[in-house]
Structure 1
Amino acid sequence: MRALIALAAITAIAGCVAAVPIDRPSGYTAPNKLDSCRVDLPQDWKDELSRNTTVAGSHEKVTIVAANANADVTLVKTTRNRTTELVLRDREKRQQVMAVQDDAQLHGVEFDGRWVTFSTTPSPSDRTTTTYAWDSRNDGAPVRIGGSGAVVHNGKAAWADSKGVHLYDLAKKKDRIVGQGEEPLFLGDAVMWLQDGKFRAEVALPEQLRDARPSGSAASDGRTVVWAQGDALHGWREGWTEPRELAGIRTAPKTEGILFPRVSGDFVSWQSESSYVTDIRSGATMHTTDGAYWLEVHGGALTQQGWRGVAAAPLSSLSPLPRC
């Protein structure tokens, strides 16, 4: 997989949807599908990513899969010699969370600054999912909490399976069903989810979200909710009188819509054959035309992924994207 890479392949894993890098021909340039404000990658973003780059070895694949709010603690997944390892790294230590062998998959990593949740599957052909939680303050083993990928926020994990939407207190080890649906997310400490194309919540749903009609994935950083609705990326946060359209893509030619949004602070990363980063403040979006890498937000970090190397730059160090 040393050819140029783009995130266009989609693999369903135990009821969840995950992005899978695919090979591209040498010299491939990802098409720009934006139908809204587009800007180039700012120089200070390039500089920050360059200063924080780790070059992968010739026989390993390295991916930054989570970060804390300050981007000084990251979770890194490394595959070499048929072993895939999940490791927490900071300036002082390196802690192994789990390692799996051969064709076993490790995916769906989330981090709230203390608790880590992640899932494993035995192989690409056997998608039986086991989900674990791990307390980074202790050097103990991960604990199994469920059988479907989870999100985590402020010591609580949430996931959906055939029984319903689970809300799990990680410290107390208490699980309860809060409703029926899929794709849970947190707004503050309250859990929300999708059901029949609408947002539902354990408590009263904010009035501004009652008319939202998510057509795909949704995400939240606890303060801001973002979702795909048709060919547009929408968002809402407390204090806004109504949701806003943050970005849009052209409807034709269309091969896939807006997928895998991730939000942190004022930045939203998402995919549509290649990667995009939208600045909520200006409404501008940066598109990575080079298929050799892609950008995502994780916690307080902007991460660059690809076979040339990986990087994690603090979002707080990046300039806002300019308005068009």
Structure 2
Amino acid sequence: MRALIALAAITAIAGCVAAVPIDRPSGYTAPSELDSCRVDLPQDWKDELARNSTEVGSHEKVTVVGANEKADVTLVKTTRNRTTELVLRDSTKRQQVMAVQDDAQLVGVEFDGRWVTFSTTPSPSDRTPTTYAWDSRNDGAPVRIGDSGAVVHNGKAAWSDSKGVHVYDLARKKDRIVGQGKEPVFLGDAVLWLQDGKFRAETALPDQLKNARPGGSAASDGRTVVWTQGDALHAWREGWTEPRELAVIKTASRTEGIVFPRVSGDFVSWQSGSSYVTDIRSGATMHTTDDAYWLEVHGGALTQQGGRVAAAAALSSLSALPAC
């Protein structure tokens, strides 16, 4: 199945809905803010993206916004004729999750292989979210679960709002508040979140995270948690004796710092003015420059966004980035 992705992307990170501007003039070369190990885009990455690409029409926007672990099931968001549709696709079937009309937005899509969580907002100028959950096995109507963008893992959703950090059992439809803070992420079945510049947890916090000083962004794939700390991107997973520094940007950077981290397996995608992909194994980072396309991990897929070509490749098909 040929994968489709975006001309434009809208990303929500753990309760904060944010528009990501990716449209650039033709021939634009994005400057690099990286101040650590940098490598070029590997040829096999180019080949895999080219093999799984398609041209996007001039009057539509198509984005892969979610994928399962094997990248053979994807969530695709398509906008055409003033309708935006979210669809779950595999090689044999197509399931519509939701469609919105006119200026309404579908944002913050997350997928754990069964459950989908996403938010709608009335318009680009009114980004007040309503958050839903949808069970791909039952193929029923989406169910409203809250008013703030959620992350999802193994049948549970988590988000934060003025009441605190919520953990919602999607099958039982039961919500509970586990603490006060923001940016909840799953580490296994446990939930971590940020509060006063530290990680917090409902149960015992891993010793290796007690001295971490996360900034405003954190993410996890259930196995590895990544976070920003000053001008650096850090990570920790069970079995490591201590956190690792993955990438560093220039201190004098005029960008907003490191934002929108996403992790899947051994790859972390993030942004700082333009897009980057870091290999946890080697500590090397690939920076996108050509024609302002962007790379981002979603589940088991690496997606390419920008320009008139849409592409996605399974992470399992990509080589490791070499160390410097």
Deviations 1:251-302 (A, max 9, x none): 1142220000000110000000100000010110000012431000110111
* Distance in 1, Cα, partners of 2:223 & 2:11: 29
1:217 Cα deviation after fit: 0.6
In the superposition, relative to structure 1, how do residues 24 and 109 fare at CA in structure 2: closer, same or farther (>3 Å)?
same
* Distance in 2, Cα, partners of 1:182 & 1:312: 31
1:168 Cα deviation after fit: 0.5
1:128 Cα deviation after fit: 2.1
Give the aligned residue type for 2:101: Q
Residue aligning to 1:251: 251
Note if contact 1:6-1:30 (Cα within 8 Å) is conserved in structure 2: no
In the superposition, relative to structure 1, how do residues 280 and 114 fare at CA in structure 2: closer, same or farther (>3 Å)?
same
- Structure 2: stretches of 5+ with no match in the other structure: 1-6
Please state whether the residue corresponding to 1:283 is helix, strand or coil.
Answer: coil
Note if contact 2:14-2:160 (Cα within 8 Å) is conserved in structure 1: no
Residue aligning to 1:232: 232
Residue aligning to 1:187: 187
Moved more, 133-142 or 251-260: 251-260
Give the aligned residue type for 2:296: E
Give the aligned residue type for 1:68: N
1:6 Cα deviation after fit: 9.2
Residue aligning to 1:268: 268
Residue aligning to 2:309: 309
Moved more, 211-220 or 23-32: 23-32
The question of 1:85 aligning with 2:85 is answered: yes
* Distance in 2, Cα, partners of 1:218 & 1:180: 16
Q: Percent identity?
A: 86
Please state whether the residue corresponding to 2:49 is helix, strand or coil.
Answer: helix
* Distance in 2, Cα, partners of 1:162 & 1:19: 22
Corresponding pairs, count? 318
* Distance in 1, Cα, partners of 2:54 & 2:93: 16
1:56-95 matched pairs, under 5 angstroms: 56-95=56-95
Note if contact 1:118-1:149 (Cα within 8 Å) is conserved in structure 2: yes
* Distance in 2, Cα, partners of 1:206 & 1:106: 35
* Distance in 1, Cα, partners of 2:266 & 2:94: 30
* Distance in 1, Cα, partners of 2:78 & 2:116: 16
In the superposition, relative to structure 1, how do residues 12 and 316 fare at CA in structure 2: closer, same or farther (>3 Å)?
closer
* Distance in 2, Cα, partners of 1:118 & 1:202: 24
1:13 Cα deviation after fit: 10
Residue aligning to 2:289: 289
* Distance in 2, Cα, partners of 1:62 & 1:141: 23
Residue aligning to 1:28: 28
Moved more, 199-208 or 250-259: 250-259
- Structure 1: stretches of 5+ with no match in the other structure: none
Note if contact 2:191-2:202 (Cα within 8 Å) is conserved in structure 1: yes
Deviations 1:180-236 (A, max 9, x none): 111110000011111111111111110111111111210000010001111000000
Please state whether the residue corresponding to 1:212 is helix, strand or coil.
Answer: coil
The question of 1:277 aligning with 2:288 is answered: no
Please state whether the residue corresponding to 1:24 is helix, strand or coil.
Answer: coil
Please state whether the residue corresponding to 1:171 is helix, strand or coil.
Answer: coil
Deviations 1:36-93 (A, max 9, x none): 1100000100111111113212210011101000000000111111111101111001
Note if contact 1:232-1:258 (Cα within 8 Å) is conserved in structure 2: yes
Note if contact 2:291-2:307 (Cα within 8 Å) is conserved in structure 1: no
The question of 1:206 aligning with 2:237 is answered: no
1:14 Cα deviation after fit: 11
* Distance in 1, Cα, partners of 2:130 & 2:16: 12
Give the aligned residue type for 1:97: V
Note if contact 2:15-2:150 (Cα within 8 Å) is conserved in structure 1: no
Superposition CA RMSD, Å = 1.8
TM (norm. structure 2) is 0.94
The question of 1:158 aligning with 2:158 is answered: yes
Moved more, 284-293 or 60-69: 284-293
* Distance in 1, Cα, partners of 2:187 & 2:278: 20
* Distance in 2, Cα, partners of 1:212 & 1:111: 28
TM (norm. structure 1) is 0.94
Residue aligning to 1:144: 144
Q: Deviating runs (4+, > 3 A) in structure 1?
A: 10-15
Please state whether the residue corresponding to 1:117 is helix, strand or coil.
Answer: strand
Note if contact 1:215-1:229 (Cα within 8 Å) is conserved in structure 2: yes
The question of 1:101 aligning with 2:104 is answered: no
* Distance in 2, Cα, partners of 1:117 & 1:110: 5
1:170 Cα deviation after fit: 0.4
* Distance in 2, Cα, partners of 1:78 & 1:84: 6
1:151 Cα deviation after fit: 0.3
Please state whether the residue corresponding to 1:278 is helix, strand or coil.
Answer: strand
